[in-house]
Amino acid sequence: MRFLLEFKDYKTKEVENGTINLLDTYLNEYTIDSSCGDTFDMIVIRFLNNASSKRVERESKLYNFFALIEVKSSFQKQGEIDILEFQDAFRKVRNSIERVEKIKIDNMDFNLEKLTELLRVAEHNLPKSKKELEEYKEKQVQIKLNNKLRLVNCNIKKDEEIKRELDKPLTGIRVYSELRFEGVDLEPYVFMYENIFSNLLRKEKIMLPGYSEIYLYIHKTLDDAKINASHPEAWSKNTYGEIDLEKYKSSTKEDKAKMVFDSVCQGLRLICDFNHLDKAAIERVIKVVEKEGLETELEYIKKENKNYMVKLIYVLSKIVKRKALLKLMIKDKITGKEGYAEIGYINLWYGPCINKIRIAKKKIIIEGEKNLRAEISRSNDNIEDKYVFNIDQILL
């Protein structure tokens, strides 16, 4: 069970308190990777410091998965940590958790007895002097990192144990790396593989349990990736990959691309396992990208009739980030002949600057969206509003 302690002083308007911040770390050290039921992921304790006597303490559900408990307090030493206020705040938390059961929720699954026992252990080890509290403060940064790692591992274990309905189509993956702060830049490979995998996974119609995006964090170890990852949004789920920094620094461009590819595959396979995704479909995509690499052709839009299949396809640029070479592909369904025609480079950052294919008699007509954003995009990329191609000439 995760705790989040909030603070608001009604006299000074302060919303930060060093003692409360330290207690937040301390509580989570004892509870963060222990499940206390499925109803709540976190208990938010909101300290109402120096609140009016008329102010009523409330308990409620917050954002569907959090329990919010308001607790009045009268702490005075906000600019420094204080052992007496630390101990007093702990007791207020311990005495308030039973109020979680007062929150009106049907079929609540909350193990108060287990959480009470966890806090009993925490109370036994509570700092007993200012010196002990200051020593704990010196270790706070590392303890917070350990708490985050334990929380991530706990959530992965929960996902492994519960197979949820795959009810939302994947819209894409996002690949993140903070390694530039350590002198390593994984671009352009991160951007390119992010787009390649997103396109092909959508084409495979990958379904996800309750979210629509996969956020994949790459760092020097899996633990570092988990610690440095942002907390997932309601529409996303995190996964993780690792990369050998020293080997990457001394590698060729080709080998660097392969190392980033391997890290992305590691993250996809990890989330596939703990979230029970379609493993066969994901492996099919991995196999395609392994074969085609950064030259993988991606589908932009598609149109067909009984005689022809027409696609706009693109290949990402290795030189200019967010640029891709857009091409027209025509296939004669009767003869099997294929032909290509280059259109030009487009900027993937913008919305679709071309969005319509019409198959006319012996002609393919490609048109762009009629809005300001698309017009700006086409102007910047020197793309026309309309293209007309002769089918026979392309299929020569």
Q: How many domains does the chain have?
A: 3
pLDDT, residue 383, reads 77
Cα(14)–Cα(154) distance, integer angstroms? 33
Residues 342 and 275 in one domain: no
Cα(291)–Cα(128) distance, integer angstroms? 62
- Domain end marker among 126, 158, 190: 158
pLDDT, residue 212, reads 97
Asked if pLDDT for residue 123 goes beyond 70, the answer is: yes
Q: Read off the DSSP letter of residue 84.
A: H
- The predicted-structure confidence for 236-286, as pLDDT tens digits, reads as follows 999 999 999 999 999 999 999 999 999 999 999 999 999 999 999 999 999
Residues 9 and 154 in one domain: yes
Confidence of residue 182 (pLDDT cuts 50, 70, 90): confident
Comparing 165-169, 172-176, 183-187, 290-294, which segment has the lowest mean pLDDT?
183-187
- The predicted-structure confidence for 22-59, as pLDDT tens digits, reads as follows 999 999 999 999 999 999 999 999 999 999 999 999 99
Containing structural domain, residue 304:
297-395
- Cα 281 to chain centroid distance, Å, stands at 21
Residues 154 and 195 in one domain: no
pLDDT, residue 349, reads 63
Cα(102)–Cα(87) distance, integer angstroms? 25
- Domain end marker among 108, 136, 158: 158
Q: Does pTM top 0.85 for this prediction? A: yes
Residues 133 and 183 in one domain: no
Mean pLDDT along residues 82-104 = 97
Mean pLDDT along residues 99-105 = 95
Asked if pLDDT for residue 351 goes beyond 70, the answer is: no
